[in-house]
């Protein structure tokens, strides 16, 4: 949230204004719908929202935006690398803010309660380097998902259920 103003900054942009600028640079139009959805994603960026969830938040907070537009806008923001599209095998895509500071983290998906937690990014650079050295695949991004049992559910499985 600091107001950094100087510096060329990395490819990823994250402040509201930087993103608006990015939209403009790519000759996309700055519609009120896009602004609303972007604002909501900036506010709820860590919540792994699905298109429908975004749609509902919009309906509650602002007036209303067509569901199709929500889909199209989320897709657009993912293409702009503002959002990251995620899949937790619950039958719908989810989006999270691609935060420059936090970069992305790993996801811990509990098979019992379905909750998704986060785990600070770590150790992947070394692996990416290795991928490049051994296969010449140019890594632009990565997603790491751990499937298992969260602390609460570990207790449960032994006794109940």
Which residues make up the interface to a copy of itself (CB under 8 A)? 85, 87, 89, 93, 106, 108, 110-111, 117, 119, 122-123, 126-128, 130-131, 134-151, 154
Torsion of CA 56, 74, 99, 150, to 10 degrees: 60
| Cβ nearer to DNA, comparing 93 with 112 | 93
State in angstroms the smallest separation of the CB of 89 from DNA. 9
Q: What is Dmax (Cα atoms) for the chain?
A: 58
| Cβ nearer to a copy of itself, comparing 42 with 108 | 108
Torsion of CA 142, 147, 153, 157, to 10 degrees: 180
CA 21 to chain centre: 20
**Which residue ranges make up the site for DNA (CB under 7 A)?**
24, 28-34, 50-52, 64-69, 71-73, 75, 91-93
């Amino acid at each position: 949230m600091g107001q950094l103003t100087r510096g060329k900054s990395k490819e990823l942009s994250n402040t509201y204004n930087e993103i608006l600028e990015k939209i403009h640079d790519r000759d996309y139009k700055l519609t009120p719908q896009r602004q609303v959805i972007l604002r909501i994603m900036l506010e709820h960026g860590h919540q792994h929202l699905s298109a429908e969830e975004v749609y509902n938040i919009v309906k509650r907070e602002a007036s209303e935006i067509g569901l199709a537009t929500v889909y199209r806008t989320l897709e657009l923001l993912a293409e702009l690398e503002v959002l990251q599209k995620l899949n937790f095998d619950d039958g719908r895509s989810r989006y999270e803010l691609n935060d420059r500071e936090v970069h992305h983290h790993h996801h811990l998906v509990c098979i019992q309660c379905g909750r998704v937690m986060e785990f600070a990014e770590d150790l992947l650079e070394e692996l990416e380097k290795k991928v490049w050295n051994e296969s010449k695949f140019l890594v632009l991004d990565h997603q790491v998902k751990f499937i298992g049992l969260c602390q609460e559910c570990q207790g449960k499985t032994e006794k109940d259920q």
